[in-house]
Amino acid sequence: MFESLQARLEEAIKRLRGQARITEDNIADALAEVRRALLDADVHVEVVRRFIEDVKAKAIGTEVKGKVLPEQLIVKIIYDELVSIMGTTKSELIHAPAPPTVIMVVGLQGSGKTTFAAKLAALLRKKGQQPLLVAADVYRPAAIEQLKTLASSINVPVFSMDGADPVNIAEESLHYAKKFARTHVIVDTAGRLAIDDTMMREVESIRERIKPQEVLFVCDAMIGQDAVTTARTFDERVGVTGVVLSKLDGDARGGAALSIRLIVGKPIKFVSTGEKLEALETFHPDRIASRILGMGDIVSFVERAQQEFDEAKAAELEEKIRKREFTFEDFLEQLRMLRKMGSIRELLGMLPGMDKALRNVEIDDRAFTKIEAMILSMTPQERRNPRIINGSRRLRIARGSGTTIQDVNRLLKQFEEMQKLMRAVTTGKVKLRNLPAMMGTPWKRS
């Protein structure tokens, strides 16, 4: 259902092919696809509208030049726009001039507040700080017990008071923290709906009493259109200083991150990626941008590829393929370039659609070594003209490379298929995203 944006764009963008310039008219279909993709990723309707307008304004008039395909160009414009909206990577906590630094954790029911509070305490402890966790959720059954269990696994004390109300508990916890020289106070509050006025008043009061440096809004990455309404209300009432995106270890596209960032304007300070207490990460705008677009990391792929591939060589290669002169020598060169660019899995993972495909695939880097050895055992003549490789030559190559004759046969067969495919690519019959299929051997389905 969620095909990559790039793949969808390819269809929509046919009208752009051969055009010199992007115009309002020829970009319309593509933008409609972008809109769908963003909505599928749960970006807020209104945010999508504004975003599309921005992208349109930026794209119109842009020249389509060189080897860059129009869809790549548009993806790049969108991606850059997304990253720039997502803003800085900065995820540092605001610290109090004198300890303790007070942090309040708020959000909807079940969003991951208590888990996050414990994770943050664990992180601070690892950095040599002395955090205190405060159990200010007196409503949810066993909420205090939950916090205590988590805290004891990381050796962090918990402040709680039987029968007291959350405002008092929070206030008292500050005295306790000062007395016992705690550097940070992390207040875990109960989950609440933004429209629950009584409960919202409660967090307002807590805030007024304890004057936290940070009010972190924990937001489930799976949240839909309601993200905006909720985040905005929390911000209006308690003054959110940062957002924590939780449950990012799933496959939700996390469009809420964009909506909240754009509408509420607050930085995302952490991402929570699991139930275990180590699973806390800093926020990377570029990663979430790719995720929202559902496209693997096509942009870094393009960028890295551009860095590594010598332009002139690439042009030469293209020419060769067109003339059907692609040889084992070229193949070897390609293989080595691929290697230089990083591990194969990492590289393929950056291709659109490959993330999923790779999930059940075991990539064997050694297979590449084998291929390299076989090619090196060929004579220059053989490399240039594989057709002359008969039975006895095959045997020689196998022996020379420490492989079997079956290995050599397979390589030759695949090379032939690859040549065919490459031709298809250059004539536009096959899309780049099918490229991995032509590389047959090096991995196997598990």
Partner 1 sequence: MGFFDSLKAKVQAVAQKVGDTLSFDRLKEGLAKTRSAVFGRLASLVRGRTLDDALLAELEEALLLADVGVRTTDRILEGLRQRWRRSNTDDPDAVLDAIKAEIAERLLAVGERSSQKGELPKPYVVMIVGVNGVGKTTTVGKLAYNFQREGKRVIIGAADTFRAAANEQLATWAARAGVEIVQQQRGADPAAVAYDTLNAAIARGMDVCLIDTAGRLHTKGGLMQELEKISRVLKKLVPDAPHDVWLVLDATTGQNAIVQAREFAKVAPLSGLIVTKLDGTAKGGVVLAIAEEFQLPVRYIGVGERIDDLHPFDAIAFVEALFAEQPSVPQSVE
Ligand X SMILES: Nc1nc2c(ncn2[C@@H]2O[C@H](COP(=O)(O)OP(=O)(O)OP(=O)(O)O)[C@@H](O)[C@H]2O)c(=O)[nH]1
Counting contacts by CB under 6 A, is residue 33 touching ligand X? no
Counting contacts by CB under 6 A, is residue 193 touching ligand X? yes
Name the binder of 103 from Mg ion, ligand X, partner 1, none, CB < 5-8 A by kind.
Answer: none
Cβ atoms within 10 Å, residue 362 = 11
- Distance from chain centroid for Cα 117: 24
Closest CA to 184 of 267, 279, 118: 118
Residue 364 CA to residue 260 CA, distance in Å, equals: 41
Counting contacts by CB under 6 A, is residue 247 touching ligand X? yes
Helix axes 298-308 and 285-293, enclosed angle (nearest 10): 110
Cβ atoms within 10 Å, residue 429 = 10
> Which residue has the CB atom at the shortest distance from ligand X?
191
Cis peptide before 285 (omega within 30 of 0): no
Residues 6+ apart with CB under 8 A from 61: 21, 22, 23
Q: Which stretch binds ligand X (CB under 6 A): 29-37, 40-48, 187-195, 304-312?
A: 187-195
Which C-beta is closer to ligand X: that of 28 or that of 195? 195
Of 74-133, binders to Mg ion (CB under 5 A) are: 113-114
Residue whose entry in the numeric block shows the structure tokens 């209104």: 46
Closest CA to 255 of 88, 77, 46: 46
**230, 273, 401, 419: which one binds ligand X (CB under 6 A):** 273
Name the binder of 273 from ligand X, Mg ion, partner 1, none, CB < 5-8 A by kind.
Answer: ligand X
Closest CA to 167 of 190, 192, 194: 190
Counting contacts by CB under 6 A, is residue 274 touching ligand X? yes
**41, 86, 143, 186: which one binds ligand X (CB under 6 A):** 143
Helix axes 255-263 and 70-86, enclosed angle (nearest 10): 60
Which C-beta is closer to partner 1: that of 244 or that of 264? 264
Cβ atoms within 10 Å, residue 122 = 22
Counting contacts by CB under 6 A, is residue 272 touching ligand X? yes
Which C-beta is closer to partner 1: that of 235 or that of 297? 235
Which C-beta is closer to Mg ion: that of 219 or that of 321? 219
Counting contacts by CB under 6 A, is residue 142 touching ligand X? no
Which C-beta is closer to partner 1: that of 293 or that of 317? 293
Query: Binding string to ligand X for residues 194 to 233, with x set by CB under 6 A, is what?
Result: ----------------------------------------
As measured in angstroms, the least distance from the Cβ of 270 to ligand X is 10
Closest CA to 435 of 420, 419, 422, 417: 422
Q: Contacts with ligand X: how many residues (CB under 6 A)?
A: 22
Residue 133 CA to residue 135 CA, distance in Å, equals: 7
Of 97-136, binders to ligand X (CB under 6 A) are: 107, 109-115
Which C-beta is closer to partner 1: that of 170 or that of 262? 262
Binding site for Mg ion (CB under 5 A): 113-114
Binding site for ligand X (CB under 6 A): 107, 109-115, 137, 140, 143, 190-191, 193, 246-247, 249, 272-275, 279
